[in-house]
Amino acid sequence: MEATALPTLRDQLLDRRRQLESVAAASIGTDEIERLLETVDATLGRMNAGTFGLCATCHDPIEPDRLLADPLTQYCLDHLTPVEQRALQQDLDLALRIQRELLPRTEIAFDGWDIAYHYQPAGPVSGDYCDLIPGCTNDGYFLIGDVSGKGIAAAILMSHLSATLRTLISLDLPLCDLIERASRVFCETTLPNHYATLICGHASPSGDVELCNAGHPPPLLIRAGGEIERLEATGVPIGMFCHGEFASRTVRLASGDLLLLYTDGLVEAENESGVEYGIERLCALASSAKGRPKTVIDACVRDLAAFRGAPAFRDDLTILVVSRA
């Protein structure tokens, strides 16, 4: 808690106290008002004693953002009361359901294209972004991204990114313009240290895929014969600079070719010895990848699970596969 915040919180509490007293004078629900008055007085007492902002159980500082939101808070996140734990869990459950609704169907097919994805948050919600959006002329967009940070904050940014891109894609802009606009919006409407890596792919009926890769790990282009090409980034992450140009590249997929996109939760996953899964292992797996996107994704997820062993996931994981039938 910053020292400057304390007088403000004290004023807020004194104001609450006055309001409670005026309600008490009108004798509405007196027992509850008395209980609230006692809570406010106890908090003011802790301010005077210098113990304000410390957890009543472990005496460590309470998280500053929680204290600002509710100066009456007496426990750190580790020592919430059962009622507070239930309320927090309900908030998280609802956030999860809202985020799930932002995701597209897990598989789509259109005009020779077959696309599927796997989305797995490390916690209740994810900072990964994934979307599949049909275009106007038998074309389609696939998107994968990773916003900075983790947990609820990252999930809020992910939903912001989702709304921005869905709106911009409906305008049918050239791909680089689309990403430039998304980057500007994201930069102007988020905190300075917040950004997102993103790949936006546009698949046309001809078999061409135009890709704009804003600082995201390189997708793999897997030819039907097993050769692999890494498609490196064509720009910086979006939201890092408010003005900046993005480039794209176009690759043509023939029948049986695949594109494999992923977030760093895949290649940076560690096993029990702290060894990373890594892009080399992914390439080795990909060189023998065959079949429909769902089959390829399942093989990736199985291989990752065999490599990792027991450790809990520390990062969100998304895998997206595009195939040309």
Smallest distance, Å, CB 96 to Zn ion? 25
d(CA 148, CA 128): 9
User: Strand, helix or coil at 122?
Assistant: coil
d(CA 131, CA 147): 14
- To the nearest 10°, report the CA torsion of 116, 233, 163, 189: 160
Considering CB under 5 A, how many residues would be counted as binding Zn ion?
A: 6
Segments of the chain assigned E as strands: 107-110, 113-120, 128-134, 140-147, 196-203, 208-214, 220-222, 228-230, 249-252, 258-262, 317-324
84 vs 264 by CB, closer to Zn ion: 84
Smallest distance, Å, CB 220 to Zn ion? 46
Cβ-proximal residue to Zn ion, closest one: 55
Placement of tokens 């977030």 in the chain: 263
83 vs 310 by CB, closer to Zn ion: 83
Quick note: the x/- pattern for Zn ion over 41-80, rule CB under 5 A, is --------------x-xx-----------------x-xx-
Smallest distance, Å, CB 72 to Zn ion? 16
Quick note: the x/- pattern for Zn ion over 78-117, rule CB under 5 A, is xx--------------------------------------
User: Strand, helix or coil at 250?
Assistant: strand
Q: Which amino acid is at 219?
A: P
Smallest distance, Å, CB 54 to Zn ion? 9
Smallest distance, Å, CB 88 to Zn ion? 14
Quick note: the x/- pattern for Zn ion over 110-149, rule CB under 5 A, is ----------------------------------------
Structure tokens at 247: 């480039």
What does the binding site for Zn ion look like in residue numbers (CB under 5 A)? 55, 57-58, 76, 78-79
